C-alpha cells in the first residue's frame, strides 16, 4: 500500500489496545496487516465487489468502535474474521430487509468446536483431500460453519437456504468426512 506507515513491531493485541484508546494510527496499522487477506477471503464468499468493500469498511469501523470487546484470548486475525463474516451475513440480511447482527453475538460465536479443532489442521494429512470429495453444497455448509465459525442460522442466511437444510447437510458432510478420513488412514 503506497506511502503507508510500515506496520510497527507491536503485536496485533497491542495495536487493538491502542485502537480502543482512540489511536487511529493503530487502526491504520491493523488495516495494512489484515485488510488484504480479509478482502480476499470475503471475495471468495461474495462475488459482489461493492458488497465486499462495504463489509470490509464496516468491519474496521466495528473494530474502531468495539476494540475493547477483544478479550485477549486467541488470534486477533480470527477475531477479525469473526466480525467480517458476520458483517457479510448481516449485510446480505439487510438487503433481504431484516435487522443487523449485534456485536454481542459476534463475540459469542467464536468458541472453537471439536470439529473446528479437527479441521483446523486441514493443511495436513488427508483432510483437504476428504474435503474435496464433498459435494459443492455440503462443502459450502462445512466452510460456513466449521471454517468460518457461523451458527446454523447465520450460515442459512449466507447460503440462502433454510436452517433445517444447513443442519442436514452438515450432518451428512460430517459423516462423509469421517468415512473418508478413516479410509485415508487405512
Partner 1 sequence: MSGTESPRGWHADEESLRAWADGRAGPALGASVEQHLLRCVDCRAAVGTHVATPTLDHTWDRVLEQIEVPRVGLLERTLLRLGVGPRDSLLVAAAPSARLSWLTGVAAVLLFAAVSAAVAEDGGVALFLMVAPIVPVGAVATAYGRTADPSYEVVLAAPYSTLRLVLLRTAAVLVPSVPLAVLVGLLLPGPSLLSVAWLLPAAALVATVLTVSAWVDPVLAGTAAVAAWVVAVAVATQTGDPLSVIDAAALVSYTAALVVGCVVLLGRLKRTPSGWPLG
Residues 70-109 that bind partner 1 (CB under 8 A): 75, 77-78, 81
In whole angstroms, how close is the CB of 186 to partner 1 at the nearest point? Answer: 20
Nearer to partner 1, 36 or 164 (CB): 36
Distances (CA, A) of 126 to 32, 87, 118, 144: 34, 32, 12, 20
Specify whether the CB–CB gap between 152 and 145 falls below 8 A.
yes
User: Rounded distance, CA 130 to CA 122, Å?
Assistant: 10
Please state the closest distance from residue 62 (CB atom) to partner 1, in A. Answer: 10
Give the dihedral of Cα atoms 44, 50, 51, 53; nearest 10 deg: 80
Return residues touching partner 1 (CB under 8 A).
1-2, 11-12, 24, 27-28, 31-37, 39-41, 43-44, 49, 53, 56-57, 60-61, 64-65, 75, 77-78, 81, 119-124, 128-129, 131-132, 134, 136, 139, 143, 147
Amino acid at each position: 500500500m503506497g506511502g503507508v506507515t510500515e506496520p510497527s513491531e507491536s503485536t496485533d493485541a497491542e495495536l487493538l489496545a491502542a485502537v480502543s484508546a482512540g489511536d487511529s494510527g493503530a487502526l491504520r496499522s491493523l488495516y495494512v496487516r489484515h485488510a488484504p487477506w480479509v478482502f480476499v477471503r470475503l471475495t471468495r464468499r461474495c462475488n459482489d465487489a461493492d458488497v465486499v468493500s462495504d463489509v470490509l469498511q464496516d468491519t474496521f469501523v466495528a473494530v474502531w468502535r468495539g476494540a475493547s470487546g477483544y478479550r485477549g484470548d486467541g488470534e486477533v486475525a480470527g477475531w477479525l474474521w469473526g466480525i467480517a463474516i458476520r458483517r457479510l451475513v448481516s449485510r446480505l440480511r439487510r438487503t433481504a430487509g431484516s435487522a443487523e447482527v449485534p456485536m454481542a453475538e459476534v463475540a459469542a460465536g467464536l468458541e472453537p468446536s471439536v470439529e473446528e479443532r479437527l479441521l483446523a489442521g486441514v493443511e495436513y494429512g488427508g483432510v483437504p483431500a476428504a474435503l474435496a470429495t464433498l459435494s459443492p453444497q455440503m462443502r459450502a455448509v462445512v466452510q460456513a460453519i466449521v471454517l468460518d465459525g457461523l451458527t446454523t442460522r447465520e450460515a442459512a442466511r449466507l447460503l440462502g437456504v433454510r436452517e433445517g437444510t444447513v443442519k442436514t447437510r452438515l450432518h451428512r458432510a460430517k459423516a462423509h468426512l469421517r468415512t473418508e478420513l478413516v479410509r485415508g488412514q487405512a
